[in-house]
Amino acid sequence: MFCRLSFLFFSLFFSSISFAREEVLVDTTKGSNMLSEVFVLGKSGIKGNSNLVDFDGVRVLAAKKTELIVLSKLDANVANQSFREVFGRTPGLHVIESDPSGFNTSIAIRGLSTNRSWDFNMRQNGYDITPDPMGYNEAYYTPSFEWVEKIEIVRGAAALQFGPQVGGLINYILEKPVFNKRFGGEVQQTFGSFGLKSTLIKFRSGMKKLAFVGSHQLREGNGFRPNSNFNSNQSYFRMDWKPFAHGLVTFELTKSNSQAQLAGGISEAQFKSDPWVSYRARNYYYSHWFMPVVKFNYSPSKLVNSQIQIFAIQSGRSQLGFTKTNDVLDIPNSAGNYANRSLDRDEYTSYGAEFRSGLSAFNEKWQTSAGLRLFRGNMFRQQQGIATNGSTYSENLVDPKFPRSLNFVNQNFSAFIENTWAITPKFKLASGLRYEYILSQGNGFLDINTKFLSPDRLRSFILWGAGASFKPSSELEMYGNASQSFRPISFSDLLPSSTTDIVDAALKDARALNFDLGIRGKKGNFLRYDISAYHLEFSDRIGNVSMKNSNGQPYLYRTNLGLSSSKGVELYAELDPILLLHGSSRYGQISVFLSAGLNHAVYENFALSSGENLAGKKLENAPQQIIRSGLTYTYKRLSFTYQISYTAESFSDAQNTSKPSPTGTIGLIPEYTLDDFSFTYKYRKHWLLKGSVNNVMNVSYFTRRGTGAFPGYGILPGAPRNASCTLGFTF
């Protein structure tokens, strides 16, 4: 594997030493050469990530580590949500690959948690898509990648303008309407391995002052394991209206319903015997998401821009199944009856408003972004319901009363300001502050006889950040920043494990301090790169310690215990060697890319209830190397990409247990290397053909060991070799 990666790496290195010669050969004083150069720019084979602009009217992004992924440039399998391909050029991004449906995003960076991406601030078109970023930031909804035009990524320093989480921001940008555009649209049909079928219908139209776009996707499949069927029904509609010259009103509506059968986790022995076997046939997951949004943008001049958005989320998810560990078989008893299943159900109601305003003054030497946020989130949780003993999805209960019934509420007010000052035309300083006010409340019943009441947790604090950017030329930038961020107390942190356990009344939000130092740029249109080093200090991590009460009885006390640190290097480089060496070619363009994340993530201090301290132990689910490389070839309307992904080993538990437990819930997660091939062919203006083969070498691997009933105890395997083909028509 490393031989294949090294070949591409040395190709990049060898080609880069020709920069000076290239500059000598190009005579920019001749008009014909200038015209030729412009033509070559359009023929570039580079497909990869770029960076966000320093200031876009309402957001200051200068001196931050940012990335912009344009999905139309990629030959990725977007119909089945191939996160590994879409984020292939994003260095250090760890992708959990155990969900055949692709409904739930599980990604992380810099040693943070991959659990449903809860260390990222997840947004769509700038607004929240998770139930409650302040208390339950789990990504149970992901927009169809067939809708998504771009993905914005801002690492740790995003907290100043967007709030939690420590990992930064991921913002899915969907297609926007175009004014003065005749009615049209597109249809795409995808078929793939394991019964995959996806149908996309999109329409768009625009008049002088009114424009709209809408999408609908139906997707279903059998999954790559038995008992892993899934289906989803997602719709998106957006309408833009210009009431007057400098104003724009936008209305967006997103609706999603998803259901998946959960094949469960397997033991170490079962994985070695058959890595894609399943012993759970009655476990299910269901979610529904409904998000209306209204926005108003006002731009009276190029110097002043304002935006207000009012958003709401009415959503929920249910989990149904046989919840024993994988060493207990789900089989009928002597009377031929299965055991009753357990049902857990959450309902989320959230709403809020955000106001942003941007100012650019003194010939863009001073740029400011300021804003306010109001938010209220409510989660109603019902658990341990006794469901029927059937085998299909049904939320019918034997006893209509849930033993555990809880209600959590978060209220949040925040304000921020961030500025940049151009000290010289090449040197810029950035700084910012954010104020947070959070009130968390909880009440209900832990079981039928035990009432639960969490004390009100009111806290307020200020975050700071500062950075600098130096651009000696239009093609080179050196940047650095230091920024605070935080991870709010989650609802699960407030919930005792048992009725005897106690949660610290002074429990604090976890805090982080992130440093980035990097260099990025491009050379002509044949090279793009971004190389940076980082250091992330994550303090006040929450954990349990064992204590005894006045009667000598042991109990667990949940409080702020730990400190961890992550430090490393993130590298992305992409090169078009044909443009570098020859300028153009009648045989097409080639680009090679390398994306590498080298990460050393360890606990600095974390006291366990056993008395052990985790100092020096590696963080769980934090590979020390994630390396991806690939080659894209483009010829006229045809392009294809071959990508190789290597992920180093990691531990599944904080104690760094190497030897796997018999059930597979604890142990080393071995390294793995995966190959992916994909292509795109566009015929004239209207026809599109895409295809992919993922895990070309049919490697048996897994990225996660489950420790709960959902999605399962034990090893959760990744997908074997699978293929898909998409035919599209634009009208």
Q: What is the length of the chain?
A: 731
CB 552 within 8 A of CB 590: no
| pLDDT of 20 higher than 80 | no
Number of compact structural domains in the chain: 1
- Convert the pLDDT of each residue in 405-433 to its tens digit: 999 999 999 999 999 999 999 999 999 99
Closest Cα partner for 630 from 5, 10, 2? 5
Structural domain boundaries, residue 477: 2-730
Q: What is the mean pLDDT of the chain?
A: 91
What is the average pLDDT across 321-341?
95
| pLDDT of 672 higher than 50 | yes
Sign of the dihedral through C-alpha 384, 389, 390, 395: negative
> In the prediction, which pLDDT does 45 show?
63
- Split at pLDDT 50, 70, 90, the class of 13 is very low
Contacts of 476 (CB under 8 A, 6+ apart): 519, 521
- Split at pLDDT 50, 70, 90, the class of 123 is very high
What is the average pLDDT across 118-137?
95
CA dist list (Å): 588 to 12, 40, 506: 19, 11, 63
CA dist list (Å): 107 to 8, 119, 274, 290: 26, 9, 26, 23
Return the SS3 of 38: helix
What is the average pLDDT across 116-124?
94
The DSSP 8-state label assigned to residue 119 in this structure reads T
- Convert the pLDDT of each residue in 129-153 to its tens digit: 999 999 999 989 999 999 999 999 9
| pLDDT of 30 higher than 80 | no
The DSSP 8-state label assigned to residue 331 in this structure reads -
What is the average pLDDT across 717-728?
97
The enclosing domain of 382 has a CATH number of: 2.40.170.20
Tokens of 347: 């309902």
Q: How many whole angstroms separate alpha carbon 644 and alpha carbon 5?
A: 8
> In the prediction, which pLDDT does 602 show?
97
DSSP for 521-585? EEETTTEEEEEEEEEEEEEEEEEEEEEE-TTS-EEEEEEEEEEEEEEEEEEEEEE-HHHHHTS--
Distance between alpha carbon 185 and the CA centroid of its chain, in Å?
Answer: 28
Q: How many whole angstroms separate alpha carbon 316 and alpha carbon 368?
A: 38
What's the pTM value of the predicted model, to 2 decimals?
A: 0.93
3-state helix, strand, coil in the chain (%, to 5): 10, 55, 35
| pLDDT of 3 higher than 50 | no
CB 324 within 8 A of CB 330: yes
User: Using H for helix, E for strand and C for coil, what is the string for 381-449?
Assistant: EEEEEEECCCCCCCCCECCCCCCEEEEEEEEEEEEEEEEEEECCCCEEEEEEEEEEEEEEEEEEEEECC
| pLDDT of 39 higher than 50 | no
Task: State percent of the chain over pLDDT 90.
Answer: 82
Bridge-based pairing of strands 712-717 and 342-361 is unpaired
> In the prediction, which pLDDT does 4 show?
54
AA letter at 40:
V
Closest Cα partner for 163 from 127, 138, 110, 111? 127
CB 340 within 8 A of CB 380: no
Q: How many whole angstroms separate alpha carbon 448 and alpha carbon 596?
A: 52
- Split at pLDDT 50, 70, 90, the class of 73 is very high
Q: List the beta bridge partners of residue 427.
A: 470
